[in-house]
Amino acid sequence: DAGITQSPRYKITETGRQVTLMCHQTWSHSYMFWYRQDLGHGLRLIYYSAAADITDKGEVPDGYVVSRSKTENFPLTLESATRSQTSVYFCASRRAGSTYNEQFFGPGTRLTVL
Amino acid sequence: AQSVTQLDSQVPVFEEAPVELRCNYSSSVSVYLFWYVQYPNQGLQLLLKYLSGSTLVKGINGFEAEFNKSQTSFHLRKPSVHISDTAEYFCAVSEKRNDYKLSFGAGTTVTVRA
């Protein structure tokens, strides 16, 4: 009953390499989100998904790809990592509903691109 | 589109003193407002939220916030802080018509000293 988990927690990679960050939630929440956290910017939305096979761009999608073949998983791929993608990445989920429902956040993945 | 400004990037405070974190937002439509807390090396958790009704909202750990529509503000307060309140605090807003999208402020780092 882990809730929402992310893996790996820490990752160091090199410029140009492909990297995939994993996110898994056990609540069967409809919505899932990927954010990046950078000093002075707070959290910025990269991509979100309203349900399996439905994804949409957020505020800063360039250089990232997502997929959602299963409700519980929402991987984020950096196709060719750049130094500017060094950041802390948070996955979040929430259930669908008629009024606001809280987003629950994972513990984050700290990614360093050398 | 909505946006959030947190007016203080860092707030040092002594233990048992009061603290106020300031947040202003802009939006052309009705909004929901939130404060999240991030303890070191952890994900975000919800402190409190304003959806409607009373403008004074009470949250966890003794925090409260007041929604002021005319000043478009949602300031967070705690009358007496503890060392354990040392964390980063984020104000966030979502538009009621698209309540699955959260926009975050840049964050305020609170450091509580003995």
- The strand pairing partners of A39, in sequence order, are none
Tokens representing residue B52 in the block: 């409607």
Our CA-based measurement puts residue B114 at a distance from the nearest CA of chain A, in whole angstroms, of 26
Across the A:B interface, residue pairs with CB atoms under 8 Å apart total: 49
- pLDDT (tens, 9 = 90+) of chain B, 114 residues, equals 788 999 999 999 999 999 999 999 998 888 899 999 999 888 899 999 999 889 999 999 999 999 999 999 999 999 999 999 999 999 999 988 877 789 999 999 999 999
* Largest interatomic CA distance in chain B: 44
Measured CB to CB, residues of chain A less than 8 Å from chain B are 31, 35, 40-45, 48, 50, 58, 90, 92, 94, 99-100, 102-103, 105-108
pLDDT in tens, A54-75: 999 999 999 999 999 999 999 9
* 3-state helix, strand and coil shares in percent for chain A, rounded to the nearest 5: 5, 50, 45
Contact A40 B106 (CB under 8 A): yes
Contact B44 A44 (CB under 8 A): no
Tokens representing residue B85 in the block: 């309140």
What pLDDT was estimated at residue A98? 64
Which of B64, B45, B46, B48 lies closest to B56 in space, CA to CA?
B64
Contact A105 B43 (CB under 8 A): yes
Contact B101 A45 (CB under 8 A): yes
pLDDT in tens, A26-53: 999 999 999 999 988 889 999 999 999 9
